[in-house]
């Protein structure tokens, strides 16, 4: 399988030595997205809900640029500057993942880039899903 760098101007450009996402076959690994407006390159002003909304827009743009959809996301990691913001971010997050949400980890970070309040990364996959096991294992 080939390794493909994913880049879109619909999400903020990388602010360091990394790619917005890497696609390997039917799997996509995104870098963490913070609430940077891709047009201005500036962190959006506002509370954590405002920032989480921009983060989800950025994440969706990267995922779609790779030819995936938000429904293909199988795992996310949410980084919060404060766990006090968990419920507010959950409200915004759940609007994007209404049916069969992906697996998720949420961690508190001492600080996030550019003073952001929230950062989210994702793994998406379009690998075939198997129902049950192809063979039974005797025990």
Does the predicted model carry a pTM greater than 0.75?
Answer: yes
- Tens digit of pLDDT for each residue in 19-49? 999 999 999 999 999 999 999 999 999 999 9
Q: Which helix (H) or strand (E) holds 24?
A: strand 21-24
- Could you tell me the fold of the domain covering 3-125? 60s Ribosomal Protein L30; Chain: A; (3.30.1330)
Specify the pairing of strand 73-80 against strand 103-108.
parallel
- 109 C-beta neighbours (distance < 10 Å), count: 15
Would you state the torsion angle of the CA atoms of residues 101, 118, 79, 111, taken in this order, to the nearest 10 degrees? 180
């Amino acid at each position: 399988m080939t390794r493909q760098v994913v880049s879109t101007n619909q999400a903020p450009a990388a602010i360091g030595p990394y790619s917005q996402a890497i696609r390997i076959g039917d799997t996509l690994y995104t870098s963490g997205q913070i609430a940077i407006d891709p047009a201005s390159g500036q962190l959006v002003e506002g509370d954590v809900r405002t920032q989480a909304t921009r983060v989800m827009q950025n994440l969706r743009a990267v995922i779609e640029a790779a030819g995936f959809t938000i429904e293909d996301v199988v795992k996310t990691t949410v980084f919060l500057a404060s766990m006090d913001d968990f419920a507010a971010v959950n409200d915004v997050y759940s609007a994007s993942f209404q049916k069969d949400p992906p697996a998720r980890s949420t961690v508190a970070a001492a600080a996030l880039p550019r003073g952001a309040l929230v950062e989210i990364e994702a793994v998406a996959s379009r690998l075939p899903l198997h129902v049950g096991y192809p063979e039974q294992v005797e025990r």
